[in-house]
Amino acid sequence: MEISLEGKVALVTGAGPNIGSGIALALARYGAKVACNDIDPAAAKTAVDRIERNGGTAIAVPGDVTDEEQVTGYIARVLEEFGQIDILVNNAALLGGKGVLDESTEFFDRAVRVAALGHFLNTKHVGRHMAERGIRGSIVAISSSNGWSGSAGVIAYAFHKGGVNNFVRAAAMDLAPYGIRVNSFTPTAPTPDNPELIKERGAGGVLDRPRAHGIGGETGDEEWRRPSRWTGQRAPLVPMGTTGTPTDIGHCVAWMCSDYARLITGCDFVVDGGARAKNFAYAPAPASDLAGPLPLIPLDVTGELDRELA
């Protein structure tokens, strides 16, 4: 089975340096022309540069996913440049935050708005474009393990990722009559593999450098406070020893958007080495004792920089 997205055009929101960039690169490497959106124009341009270094075709379409005028504006720019949109990846989101006792109203509101309006506005307007033109396209929403199970310290993130999961199922029902498929992909703390991000932050991810408070911020210091998570030394509880990289995510999303997945809609896909499937009481062996997965099939093949940073 040789996946090809030749002739297709993709729009990826939140195409920042980690997951968004990895998905955008994958779609381009499998043959799609890609429009990279981010609220930060520099981040969108960097994603485009990475695609072009790897022989793909891409444009930057910066804009705020919560502003309907900006959303319709960058969609129009994609249509002007490429003529159509066959694939939409809703990735824009705010990571981090704090727990329910400490989160601010302002951050909670912004985080939920980015996810809610970002998914709604992009799906609505790209979906209308597809339906009007008879394009039986693919829409993918990026969820999170935090949308399926609870984790302390990220109440806004958990709230909006949980909402994403049912948005996908409902949108899949709305768009099924048009042959448009809507699915979600659930990452679990992937290890960055973008050479530029590794150069900036160093190799490894949260499994290698666990944070005392998880992905959330600090808690208060009142005397009545109780700890919400384990902070001692403990091996990551992943059955295969690794949750993968954005490249692993990209391979799966590209397949989800291909014609081989023509009847798959309203579903969630997970690439995480078994992390989500694990029973809470099951403690896997340390990664050093495991066989691990097969070698990664790379997508970023820019050469020396990759080897220098490996």
Q: Tell me, what's the pLDDT at 212?
A: 64
Q: Tell me, what's the pLDDT at 237?
A: 83
Give residue limits of the domains in the chain.
9-278
> Each residue of 168-221: pLDDT tens digit?
999 999 999 999 999 999 998 888 887 787 777 777 777 776 666 667 788 888
pTM comes to 0.89
**DSSP class per residue in 150-181:** --TT-HHHHHHHHHHHHHHHHHHHHHGGGT-E
Over residues 30-50, the mean pLDDT reads 97
Over residues 31-52, the mean pLDDT reads 97
Q: Give 164's pLDDT tier (boundaries 50, 70, 90).
A: very high
Residues with Cβ within 8 Å of 81's Cβ and at least 6 positions away in sequence, in order, are: 35, 59
Q: Which of 69, 65, 63, 54 is nearest to 21 (CA)?
A: 54
Q: Give 310's pLDDT tier (boundaries 50, 70, 90).
A: very low
> Each residue of 241-268: pLDDT tens digit?
888 899 999 999 999 999 999 999 999 9
Question: Which has the higher per-residue pLDDT, 291 or 302?
Answer: 291
Q: Tell me, what's the pLDDT at 256?
A: 98
Question: What percent of the chain shows pLDDT beyond 70?
Answer: 94
Instruction: Point out which residues pair with 139 in neighbouring strands.
Output: 88, 182
Q: Which helix (H) or strand (E) holds 308?
A: helix 304-309
Q: Tell me, what's the pLDDT at 93?
A: 96
CA–CA gap between residue 45 and residue 99 (Å, rounded): 33
Decide: 149 and 117 in contact? Cβ < 8 Å.
no
Over residues 97-124, the mean pLDDT reads 97
Q: What is the mean pLDDT of the chain?
A: 91
Query: Top-level CATH class of 9-278?
Result: alpha beta
Three-state DSSP state, 275: coil
* Residues classed as catalytic: 144-145, 157, 161
Question: What percent of the chain shows pLDDT beyond 90?
Answer: 68
